[in-house]
Structure 1
Amino acid sequence: MKKNLLLVVLFIVALVLAACSSGESASAPKNTDGSSNEKTISNKTFTYASTSDAVGLSPILMNDSPSANVTEQVYEQLFQRNVETMEFEPKLAESYETPDENTWVIKLKEGIKFHDGTPFNAEAVKYTFDKLRDPATAAPRASLLEPVDTINVLDEYTVEIKTKYPYGAFLASLSHTNAAIVSPTADQKQDLMKEPVGTGPFKFVSWTPGDQIVLEANEEYWDGAPELKKVVYKVVPEISTAISMLQTGEVQFIDNLPTEQIKRIESLDNVNIDKIDGSPVYYLAFNHLREINQDPEFREAVAAAMDRDAFVSKLNGLGVRSDSVIGPKVFGYDSSADKAGTVYDLEKAKSLVAKNGYGNKPIKLLTANRSNFVLMAEIVQAQLTEAGFNVQIESMEWATFLDSARAGDYDLTFLSWSNVTGDGSELLYPNFHSDNVGSSNRAQYSNPEFDKLVVQSRTTIDQDERKVLLDKANKMMIEENAVVVMYHGIVTAALDKTYTGLELDPNGKWYLKNITGK
């Protein structure tokens, strides 16, 4: 009897084991450690390829696109611009009010923490903004808060900002990449240029200069953890190599698609391409501290020698031709400025060169070693040479180029501005107002009449009046050939079809928080 009972028990155990075995075989196969071989978005690495490494990862101290592409995922601002309506909305802020035209009282969201576990609060906002505007910091975008007079903490989650004058572009400034809020504790403990600490959906893990930056999901993010768990910013200096990596699946995302490779990228079966009209502007800048560049006829000769229509035709639809410094996606734009510049006239350029002997001395044309910058340099060099100029190109990697341009170590150069705020005052003031010569005004441009118009555009909250003032300042630059606009950008991105949810902004910024896998 006991023997029969034992047989029954063994039979039942065998059935149970068989059922368990059957159930397990229907799911993903297991590794020896029990983990699944099936790759889901939660354990995949999402890789973005950049031709340039970041310069630094503190929003207070950096001022370049490769760096901003990282910091925009790690840090957050008080306000953000809605990419659909182009209106400014609260981000880390909860709400705001203006008791008078020089006072802004901003209520902050509660319960948010920085990645180091310290609280986001009014003290953190005051600390960040005070450091950004402190002359000792030498922040490249200190101009964002130039109008600020005082910053007061009213309570843990309320900050009061008083300006020296009415500031029409204040919300735009507070939405800027460089106005992101940093952890005071982390900033005093470590170098945020190398180890960033913000409140954003992704946290910093590591940076191997020249190779890659690694981020991971902030699982305690106040607006819900991102689905992507690991993000790698891979430095791939050759764009053709990056495209090949995109094709093979080693890379999932690239942006700023090069015009000469666009047809190749469009042919890839595993990729979706986004193109939207953008706010970035690309222009030839004169170093206005050089005596030759202060000659109006020299600048006119250079502008007349440049066939910008011919250049834009080589962009394969990724550029918009306009003479206007303020582009169609930027507040203050007026279409009458599109054709207000010096027209292409090779014979006139030749005549001015011969008359003034402009070809007798070599001209240093500085360019970054990025594809579109190199293309601009090569085409413009050929056009200026045809007019009789003696132009020599000097190409530099991105960080070195920025330093050289800021120092004014060039005769002519190509510059760009993403117009992150989407506001014309915050285009003209940092780039061309004499206050910023030697910092963000890399053209070293100084014109008292222009300065006055720009200041007026910033010191009124009447938006219609601001448009008129900005149009006047814009056309003044165009008529003087202070710069020569090459084109306004089309913002582009190529994303592996496995993923959706990339948020692309007309200013060229993008956000990874809402990316999901199929």
Structure 2
Amino acid sequence: MKMKKNWFLMFTLITALLLAACSSDDSSSQSSNESSGGSKEVESLTYASLTDAVGLSPIMTNDSASSNVIEHVYETLFERDAETMEIKPLLAESYENPDELTWVIKLKQGIKFHDGTDFNAEAVKYTFDKLRDPATAAPRASLLEPVDTITVIDDYTVEIKTKYPYGPFLAALSHSNAAIVSPTADQKQDLMKEPVGTGPFKFVSWTPGDQVVLEANPEYRDGPPAVKKFILKVVPEVSTAISMLQAGEVQFIDKLPTEQLSRIEGMKNVNVEKVNGTGEYYLTFNFSRPENQDPEFRKAVASAIDRDAFISKLNGLGVRSDSVIGPQVFGYQDTADNAGTPYDLETAKELVKKNGYDKRPITLLTANRGNFVLMAEVVQAQLAEAGFDVQIETMEWAAFLDTARAGNYDLTFLSWSNVTADGSELLYPNFHSDNVGSSNRAQYSNPEFDKLVEASRTTTNQEERLTILDQANRLMLQDDAVVVMYHDVVTAALSNDLQGLILDPTGKWDISAVTAK
């Protein structure tokens, strides 16, 4: 993302010079001024966040509200380009693989943390050692689980050796929870409350339950952001956040609700932005229950669900594909779009009648938020039409996650945002038998599938990984392990006097290139 900023600033500089040559008019407003770099400064930008951050340390958090702050204060060694989805160096300068277990990473020089200390190889080693130390209990320690040793070669070179070949390693290093922290600051203060990174914004204050305030980093290597003050304000009710956007009290919201999309698009003071995303929503079975291991039962359920009818209710905020690995995720092949069991109501009815599935009550577990309720209502009606006896059980989010993880359900809807945008990091945590009882909430266990996923993780040959991931994907679809309801569309609404928001398919966003129009 930051690499694109250089081009943007160069373009705006040239534009400003041309305008200056044609006119001597000096215009400004209360909210924006011409900066020395040629872009129009924004004195303050406020984002409405539905939830407060849990903390502000990349090592100790794993939630989207915290990440929204962390991704502007900290930086990672690598990043995924929002347009091409390719992994590119960020704090890293380059890397090489002398062998399949060794990663030699050259770091950019002359970069300082916000506390004035140097970013260097020692900082990388410090961060990664702490992240993977069991005593730290980092929520995303799994990102570095394959790492065996980390060695500082010189001030700006670090060598990382893995225990086995690890194909998604660069994707893991682009994850916001692998961002590099200042060792000095970490030893001096609590980074959960006072973060110190190398990013385009510096921390100012955090009032829990109210707001986080950041300010532009004047010494940022790509030039300071045009946004001088960035406020992430907690607004728990989405309807309130939308009203504040309309009134100009906030300038930015994301994750626009389907049912209010037309209202937001009708506002004269905002622009709505959309990109196809890596997130997905799917129906799955509790495989720990013997009745759900019946392949004809799963086929009957899959045949009864009309995904097209459901997606038509999403107002364009859903992408239709059977593939478990979505179109924006590494490992996707478009031939898998129609590789799942097709909607066929008559087949579903025949299987229900033949096997007596109508005699067994089914509980459909769902969360009480967003499209989960809508999915449950639509699918309940479709399964009933095929002859199933289905009751919906609704829970608030935290209780739902605990119940699903414990396997206390028949059928349920699950989702995965896939921040790494890598198929291995979708299939392994969610469906590999290693993770039954934790992140594998479907309790799915298939030895053939496990071997394919392991193979996709333990080769650094990316073409081989594509082939293996496609095989694993198709095996799940043949097994009717899941019914993919839709792949996400990432959305945001930004005040129309602003421009330059970078909206990422992973659901992340970057306001460091935002300027006034």
Aligned to 1:86: 85
- Which aligned pairs between 1:92-491 and structure 2 lie closer than 5 A? 92-350=91-349, 352-353=351-352, 355-357=355-357, 360-361=360-361, 363-367=363-367, 369=369, 371-386=370-385, 387-397=387-397, 401-408=400-407, 410-491=409-490
1:14 corresponding residue in structure 2: none
Report SS of the residue matched to 1:67: helix
**Equivalent in the alignment of 1:9:** none
User: CA, structure 1 residues 404+209, in 2 after alignment: closer, same or farther (shift >3 Å)?
Assistant: farther
| Aligned residue type for 2:219 | E
Distance 1:259 1:442 in 2: 26
- Normalising to structure 1: TM-score of the pair? 0.85
In 2, distance between residues paired with 1:379 and 1:460?
A: 41
Deviates more, 1:199-208 or 1:466-475: 199-208
Q: Helix, strand or coil for the counterpart of 1:104?
A: strand
Which residue in the other structure is 1:40 paired with? 32
When structure 1 is superposed on structure 2, of 290-299 and 459-468 the one drifting more is 290-299
Counterpart residue number, 1:58: 57
Greater Rg over alpha carbons, structure: 1
Q: Compute the displacement of 1:44 (Å).
A: 3.7
Indicate conservation of the 8 Å contact 2:76/2:91, yes or no. Answer: yes
Identify the range of structure 1 (231-240 vs 71-80) with the bigger mean alpha-carbon deviation.
Answer: 231-240
Q: Give, as a single letter, the amino acid of the residue that structure 2 aligns with 1:496.
A: S
Residue 491 of structure 1 aligns to a residue whose secondary structure is: strand
Report the equivalent of 2:502: 503
Letter in 2 for 1:309: D
Letter in 2 for 1:128: T
Check whether the contact 1:141–1:430 (CA below 8 A) recurs between aligned residues: no
Residue segments in structure 1 that go unaligned for 5+ positions in a row: 1-25, 29-35
Whole-Å separation in 2 of the counterparts to 1:322 and 1:465? 23
Query: What is the CA–CA distance in structure 2 between the aligned matches of 1:452 and 1:426, rounded to whole Å?
Result: 15
Separation (CA, whole Å) in 1 of partners of 2:303 and 2:30: 61
Equivalent-residue separation in structure 1 for 2:231 and 2:52 (angstroms): 12
CA contact under 8 A between 1:140 and 1:440: conserved in structure 2? no
Report if aligned partners of 1:128, 1:181 keep a CA contact under 8 Å in 2. Answer: yes
Q: Give, in angstroms, the shift of residue 241 of structure 1.
A: 2.4
Q: Greater shift after overlay, 428-437 or 360-369? A: 360-369
Shift of 1:238: 3.0
* Contact 1:353 1:389 (C-alpha < 8 Å) held by counterparts: no
Kept after mapping to 1: 8 A contact 2:149/2:160: yes
Tell me the SS of whatever aligns to 1:390: strand
In 2, Cα distance between the equivalents of 1:139 and 1:445?
26
Please report how far the alpha carbon of residue 92 of structure 1 lies from its aligned counterpart in structure 2 after TM superposition: 0.8
What's the offset of the Cα at 1:472? Answer: 0.6
**How far off its partner does 1:475 sit?**
0.8
Alignment partners' CA distance in 1, 2:324 and 2:235 = 31
- Aligned partner letter, 2:131: L
Deviations along 1:368-403, whole A, 9 cap, x unmatched?
52x223322332233334443332232314x55545
CA distance in 2, matches of 1:353, 1:286: 16
| Partners of 1:77 and 1:177 within 8 A in 2 | yes
Contact 1:51 1:236 in 2 (8 A): yes
Contact 2:376 2:392 survives alignment (8 Å): no
Report which stretch shifted further, 258-267 or 414-423.
Answer: 414-423
**Partner-residue secondary structure (3-state), 2:93:** strand
Check whether the contact 1:366–1:411 (CA below 8 A) recurs between aligned residues. Answer: no
Q: Following TM superposition, by how much is the alpha carbon of 1:113 offset from its aligned partner in structure 2, in angstroms?
A: 2.8
Aligned residue identity for 1:393: E
Residue identity (%): 71
Residue 441 of structure 1: SS of its match in structure 2? coil
414 and 195 in structure 1: CA distance in 2 versus 1, 3 angstrom threshold: farther
- 2:57 maps to a residue whose letter is S
Matched residue of 1:106: which SS?
strand
Residues 97, 105 of structure 1: 8 Å contact kept: yes
Residues 412-439 of structure 1 show CA distances to partners (whole Å, capped at 9, x for unaligned) of 4333223322222222122222233344
Query: Matches of 1:53 and 1:377 in 2, distance apart?
Result: 28
Deviations 1:11-32 (CA, angstroms, capped at 9, x unpaired) = xxxxxxxxxxxxxxx999xxxx
Contact 1:228 1:515 (C-alpha < 8 Å) held by counterparts: yes
- C-alpha separation in 2, matches of 1:211 and 1:402: 26
Deviates further, 85-94 or 380-389: 380-389
Going from structure 1 to structure 2, the CA distance change for 1:227 and 1:451 (only over 3 Å counts) comes to same
User: CA 1:191 to 1:304, structure 2 compared with 1: closer, same or farther past 3 Å?
Assistant: farther
Unaligned runs of 5+ in 2: 1-24, 34-40
Counterpart residue identity of residue 38, structure 1: Q
Deviation digits for residues 236-281 of structure 1 (CA, Å, limit 9, x no counterpart) = 3332322222111111111222222222222111111222222222
Compared with structure 1, are the counterparts of its residues 465 and 278 closer, same or farther at alpha carbon in structure 2 (3 Å cutoff)?
same
CA contact (8 A) 2:92 2:107 kept: yes
Indicate the larger mover: 294-303 or 318-327. Answer: 294-303
Q: Which amino acid aligns with 2:367?
A: T
Contact 2:364 2:376 (8 Å CA) reproduced: no
Q: 3-state DSSP class of the match of 2:32?
A: coil
Counterpart residue identity of residue 418, structure 2: N
CA distance in 2, matches of 1:230, 1:246: 18
Q: 1:295-319 deviations in whole A, cap 9, x for unaligned? A: 4344333323322111101111121
TM value normalised by structure 2: 0.85
Structure 1 residues 470-512: Cα deviation after superposition (integer angstroms, max 9, x where no partner): 1110011112222221111222221101111111122221101
Indicate conservation of the 8 Å contact 1:48/1:234, yes or no: yes
CA drift at 1:176: 1.6
8 Å contact from structure 1 (residues 368, 374) kept in 2:
yes
Counterparts in 2 of 1:292 and 1:74: CA distance versus 1, 3 Å: farther
Cα distance in 1 for residues equivalent to 2:467 and 2:395: 39
